[in-house]
Structure 1
Amino acid sequence: MYDFTEIFCIVDDFFKKFEPIYWQFLKQENKRQRIRQATLSLSEIVAISIYYKTSQVHNFKMFFNLLCQFESKLFKDLPCYKNLIILINQHQLAIHALLYALSQEDESSYLWIDSTPLPVCKNKRIPKGHHALDEIASRGKSTMGWFYGCKLHLLMNQEGEIVNSDLSNGHIADLKKVEDLVNGLSATVYGDRGYISQPLKETLKEQGIDLMTYPRKKYESDLIAIF
C-alpha cells in the first residue's frame, strides 16, 4: 500500500491548477451558478479513491472503516460511508482528468491497445429490453459473443499502466476509437486482429504512429503453406 500523504501531494499539486477550470466547467454543464461544496476538498476525494485502489482491500466498506480507524486524523471532517461514495461517483471526471494528465508525462515508445465489453445485463435479458444506461448502452458483439452494454477502450504501456482510455456504446467498432486514444502521441502501437485496417494504418503513420497488428487467419494459413 502506498503512503496516503505521498498520493495526496501528487493529487493536490495537480488540482491547485486544474480545480478552478473544473468547477467552471461543471457550472457551465449543469447550468447552475453555484455548486455546493463538500466537506472534503476535491484533492482529498480523488486521493481517497486512488488510495483505495492501491490498497490490498477489495471491499470499499472495509476500506472506509480502516480509513476512519487509522487515517481519520488526516481529514477535518470525513463524511459517512454513503456520502463518500456519492462524492467519489460525482467526481469521476476529475479522476479521469488526473489520469489523463499523468499519462501525458509518460512518453513510452511501445503501447498496446485493446477493448473489453462492459455488459449491463445478462444475455437472456437482451430481447426483453433493458433500461439501465439507455443513453450509452447498446447491443454489441465481442469475441465472447453478444452483449448489451458499453465498451471500454484502453491504451497501455509496457509497464501495464493506462496511457489513455475511452468509453463507447457497445456497437462501436474498435477501429473508430484508435485515433482518439493515440492523439498527440508518437509510438509503436500493438493491437489484435480487430484493429486491422490499411487506411487507418496509413493515416496513423502520418501522425507518427506505427500500428502493428496480428495477420488475419487467412494470411497465417498462407504463410504456413509457404514454409
Structure 2
Amino acid sequence: MIHLIQSHQLALHALHFALMKDQQNAYLWVDSTTLPVCKNQRIQRHKSLAKIASRGKSSMGWFYGCKLHLIMNQPGEIVRTALSNGHTADIKMVEQLVDGLKAKLYADRGYISHELKSKLKNKGIDLITYHRKNMQAVGLSKADEYNLKQRNKIETLFSLLKGQYHLVTTKARSLEGYLAGIYATLCAYQLCHKNKPMIKVSEALA
C-alpha cells in the first residue's frame, strides 16, 4: 500500500485539488496545524525531509517539521490547502490560500494584520478576527461574533486528519513519499469521512 501511494503522488495531488473544486462558500475558516517529522531530540540526525522541514513554535511548544495551512467551509469540506516549513508565519500564507475566492474569512489572533486585512478587502475577502488585549476593541456584528466562535470546528478537522487518517508521520524516508502520504490523507478525508465538522450559521445572524 505504501509503495502504491508513493508511486501515485501526482495522481493523489490532482485528485485532492479536484475534490476542492467548487467548494467556495460565503463563510470560510482558516487555520494551520503543525506536522512534526521527528522528535526534537532527533533533529540533528534527521536527513530525509531536511529540504522542507524547519524548526517552528506553536502553542504546544517547539517542533521540527512543516505546517499545513487549510481553509474549510460550512459543510466541513476542505476548500484550500498549502504546505510550508515550520517557521513560516500563518499570515504569510493567506493571500496564496484565498486567491480567487470571495467570502468572509474567520481566523484567530495569529492572523491579525491591518495590512493583510486591507489587501484581502481589495480582493473580495473580508478577514474577521478578534483583537489583542493591547489593541483597540473591534466592533463585530453578532453574526461575526457567532461565526468566530465556530473556529473550534477547524480544530476538529485537524484532529480527524491526524487521529483517523494519520496525517502526521515520523517514518517518511523520502520527500516524494511524505508528500504522497499527505495527499492520501486529505483525499481519504474528502472522499470517505461522512460526519464532517459542519458549521451551522443562523439565518437570523447571517
Give TM-score scaled by structure 1 length.
Answer: 0.56
- Aligned CA-pair RMSD: 2.1
Name structure 2 gaps, 5 residues minimum. 140-206
Given the alignment of the two structures, is residue 215 of structure 1 paired with residue 128 of structure 2, yes or no? no
Separation in 2, partners of 1:122, 1:146: 10
Match of 1:154 in 2: 70
* Residues 137 and 150, structure 1, Cα contact 8 Å, conserved in 2: yes
User: For residues 150-194 of structure 1, what are the alpha-carbon distances to aligned partners after superposition, in whole Å with 9 as ceiling and x for unaligned?
Assistant: 011111011221111111111111111111111111111111111
CA distance in 2, matches of 1:222, 1:94: 45
Are residues 130 and 206 of structure 1, via their aligned partners in 2, closer, same or farther at CA, if it must alter by over 3 Å? same
Amino acid of the structure 2 residue aligned with 1:97:
A
Q: Secondary structure at the match of 1:218?
A: coil
Instruction: Name the stretch that deviates more: 87-96 or 102-111.
Output: 87-96
Kindly tell me: are residues 215 and 102 of structure 1, through their superposed partners in 2, closer, same or farther at Cα, counting changes over 3 Å?
same
What residue in structure 2 maps to residue 114 of structure 1?
A: 31
Name the one with the larger helix percent: 1
Distance 1:222 1:167 in 2: 31
Question: 1:133, CA displacement in angstroms?
Answer: 0.3
Contact 1:141 1:171 in 2 (8 A): yes
Q: Tell me the equivalent position of 1:199.
A: 115
**Alpha-carbon distance in 2 for matches of 1:188, 1:141:** 28
Structure 1 residue 135 and structure 2 residue 51: aligned? yes
Structure 1: runs of 5+ lacking an equivalent? 1-83
Which residue does 2:4 correspond to in 1? 87
Partner Cα distance (1:144, 1:95) in 2: 31
SS at 2:121 equivalent: helix
Does the CA contact (< 8 Å) of 1:120 and 1:132 recur in 2?
A: no
Shift of 1:219: 3.6
Aligned counterpart for 1:123 among listed residues 21, 40, 51: 40
Structure 1: distance between partners of 2:138 and 2:71 = 31
**Residue type matched to 2:131 in 1?**
P
Q: Note closer, same or farther for the CA distance 1:217–1:123 as it changes in structure 2 (3 Å cut).
A: farther
Counting matched residue pairs gives 139
Q: Report SS of the residue matched to 1:202.
A: helix
Matches of 1:96 and 1:190, distance apart in 2: 26
Q: Determine helix, strand or coil for the equivalent of 2:76.
A: coil
Task: Tell me which moved more, 211-220 or 148-157.
Answer: 211-220
Distance 1:194 1:92 in 2: 32
Contact 1:111 1:158 in 2 (8 A): yes
- Structure with the bigger RCO (C-alpha within 8 Å, sep 6+) is 2
